[in-house]
């Protein structure tokens, strides 16, 4: 019993440490860029001994890769409950798109890592990250296809181009927001982006 409790406590502590490291990494990657952030920096920020990082992550590369995965997971957690099953495609698209803006708005350091470091960097060519990004993008593509089939969006709209516009627009708007010191409401801006694109996608 005692040892069981101890084990649980240990596991609990382990999970916490892991999160500490991951969150310190997210923050620092966003601030200084991935390559300019050393494990020593991360250890210091996470208040964990440097070599303990290796108890949780195989190496720096593994840690770097886990940052987007971790956040995609959180983003899904946030999005899922909001999606009304059976709602129409455009509505679902809007929810997914806007939830992402909200997530960034609440976790600007992740926004920074993702839009300023991970997505644009060659790391996206890394299979694990690419898969997560692709999966996310694919969702957009499918919903856009549905909207086309439903006659809401133009027949001649290329769903991949449309998805690129949504993702690219989000990326640019976020990057500007971050680079200029988050001076305005990102979610509002997100709405404008959605509306403008939606207008361009609509059946005439």
Partner DNA sequence: TATGAATGAGAATTCATTCAT
Partner DNA sequence: CATGAATGAATTCTCATTCAT
3-state secondary structure the chain: CHHHHHHHHHHHHHHHHHHHHHHHHHHHHHHHCCCCCCHHHHHHHHCCCHHHHHHHCCCHHHHHHHHHHHHHHHHHHHHHHHCCCCCCHHHHHHHHHHHHHHHHHHCHHHHHHHHHHHCCCHHHHCHHHHHHHHHHHHHHHHHHHHHHHCCCECCCCCHHHHHHHHHHHHHHHHHHHHHCCCCCCHHHHHHHHHHHHHHHHECC
Cβ of residue 27: shortest distance to DNA, in angstroms? 15
Cβ of residue 85: shortest distance to its own copies, in angstroms? 29
13 lines the binding site for DNA (CB under 7 A): yes
Binding site residues, its own copies, CB under 8 A:
31-36, 115-117, 119-122, 124-125, 130, 157-158, 161-162, 164-165, 167-173, 175-176, 179, 189, 192-193, 196-201
Our CB check for its own copies shows the closer of 20 and 175 to be 175
Select the binding partner of residue 61 from DNA, its own copies, none (C-beta < 5 to 8 A, by kind): DNA
Cβ of residue 145: shortest distance to its own copies, in angstroms? 15
| # of chain residues touching DNA (CB under 7 A) | 23
Q: Which stretch binds DNA (CB under 7 A): 54-62, 71-79, 80-88, 166-174?
A: 54-62
Contact status, residue 35 vs residue 14, Cβ threshold 8 Å? no
Binding test (CB under 7 A) with DNA, winner from 20, 33, 45, 50: 50
Site for DNA in 110-149 (CB under 7 A): none
Cβ of residue 8: shortest distance to DNA, in angstroms? 11
12 lines the binding site for DNA (CB under 7 A): no
């Amino acid at each position: 019993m005692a040892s069981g409790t101890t084990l649980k406590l240990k596991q609990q502590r382990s999970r916490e440490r892991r999160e500490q490291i991951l969150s310190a990494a997210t923050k620092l990657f966003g601030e200084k860029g991935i390559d300019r952030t050393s494990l020593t920096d991360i250890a210091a920020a996470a208040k964990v001994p440097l070599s303990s990082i290796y108890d949780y992550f195989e190496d720096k590369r593994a840690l770097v890769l886990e940052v987007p995965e971790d956040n995609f997971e959180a983003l899904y957690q946030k999005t899922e409950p909001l999606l009304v099953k059976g709602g129409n495609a455009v509505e679902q698209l809007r929810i997914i798109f806007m939830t992402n803006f909200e997530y960034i708005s609440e976790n600007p350091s992740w926004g920074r890592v993702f839009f300023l470091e991970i997505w644009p960097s060659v790391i996206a060519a890394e299979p694990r990250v690419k898969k997560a990004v692709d999966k996310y993008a694919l969702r957009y593509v499918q919903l856009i296809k549905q909207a086309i089939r439903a006659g809401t969006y133009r027949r001649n709209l290329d769903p991949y181009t449309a998805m690129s516009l949504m993702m690219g627009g989000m990326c640019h708007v976020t990057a500007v927001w971050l680079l200029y010191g988050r001076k305005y409401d990102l979610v509002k801006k997100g709405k404008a982006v959605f509306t403008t694109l939606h207008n361009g996608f609509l059946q005439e």
